[in-house]
């Protein structure tokens, strides 16, 4: 029965991946080639223009594209979150990118957990320290993932793999990602947006960076005091 359930989960995951990539392909057979060409040129504005060219379907295409890229873990998600703010405005763009990145992270977790967790367990079991860390991830995983997700520009692929290959529950992983990704996505998108459009508002970029640093200092002080209080 357990093997049947695992087989069904794997089938659903494969179909979901096919659906996501297939959706992008159906929207434009040259989509990934076009995006890759623009990425190599470093043209975020051109990427935004390309997504905008889908008209009424631009929001759906942007959502699926951002989710797919975050699930893969490459290229950096901030490219697409920035593009979203350029297309839909700062607040709507951040919200769209935030939810899409969380969905992508969830898909990546399920894929890694389903197909690679068994192999990881065999490797972990051979090392005492890895086994201890793996066991701690069951109870401390939420906090570790939350802090890691809050840090802007942290490689998504590494966090997706860390969460999936540990004993962290999917619920803790998804909730930590959902909460932690909001400030990280907002900061990445704002900095990216204001860097690209710096001529329109030359002073806001510095203000955003300063506020971001202040917020992170406050967050890490709070986290440190919370851990000491819990000991």
Q: Averaged in consecutive runs of 10 residues, what is the pLDDT profile of the chain (231 residues)?
A: 54 66 67 75 82 88 87 80 91 94 88 70 57 64 81 78 79 90 87 76 69 72 65 56
Mapping DSSP onto H, E and C, the string for 158-179 reads HHHHHHHHCCCCHHHHHHHHHH
Supply φ then ψ for residue 201, to 5 degrees.
Answer: -150, 75
Q: What local confidence, expressed as pLDDT, does residue 95 receive? A: 94
pTM attached to this predicted model: 0.75
**Number of domains the chain contains:** 1
Cβ–Cβ under 8 Å, residues 224 and 214: no
Structural domain range at position 104: 2-230
Structure tokens at 147: 């802090």
Instruction: Give the DSSP H or E segment for 49.
Output: helix 44-52
Q: What local confidence, expressed as pLDDT, does residue 100 receive? A: 94
Supply φ then ψ for residue 200, to 5 degrees.
Answer: -80, -30
């Amino acid at each position: 029965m357990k093997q049947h359930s695992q087989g069904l989960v794997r089938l659903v995951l494969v179909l979901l991946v096919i659906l996501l990539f297939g959706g992008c392909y159906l929207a434009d057979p040259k989509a990934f080639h076009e995006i890759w060409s623009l990425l190599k040129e470093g043209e975020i504005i051109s990427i935004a223009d390309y997504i905008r060219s889908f008209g009424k379907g631009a929001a759906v295409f942007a959502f699926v594209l951002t989710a797919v890229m975050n699930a893969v873990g490459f290229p950096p998600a901030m490219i697409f979150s920035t593009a979203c703010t350029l297309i839909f405005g700062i607040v709507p763009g951040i919200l769209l990118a935030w939810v899409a990145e969380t969905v992508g992270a969830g898909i990546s977790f399920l894929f890694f957990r389903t197909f690679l967790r068994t192999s990881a367990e065999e490797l972990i079991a051979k090392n005492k320290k890895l086994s201890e860390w793996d066991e701690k991830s069951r109870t401390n995983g939420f906090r570790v993932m939350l802090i890691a997700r809050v840090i802007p520009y942290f490689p998504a692929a590494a966090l997706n793999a860390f969460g999936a290959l540990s004993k962290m529950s999917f619920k803790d992983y998804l909730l930590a990602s959902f909460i932690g990704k909001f400030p990280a996505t907002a900061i990445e998108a704002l900095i990216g947006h204001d860097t690209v459009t710096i001529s329109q508002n030359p002073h806001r970029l510095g203000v955003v960076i300063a506020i971001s640093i202040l917020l992170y200092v406050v967050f890490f002080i709070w986290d440190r005091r919370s851990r000491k209080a819990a000991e």
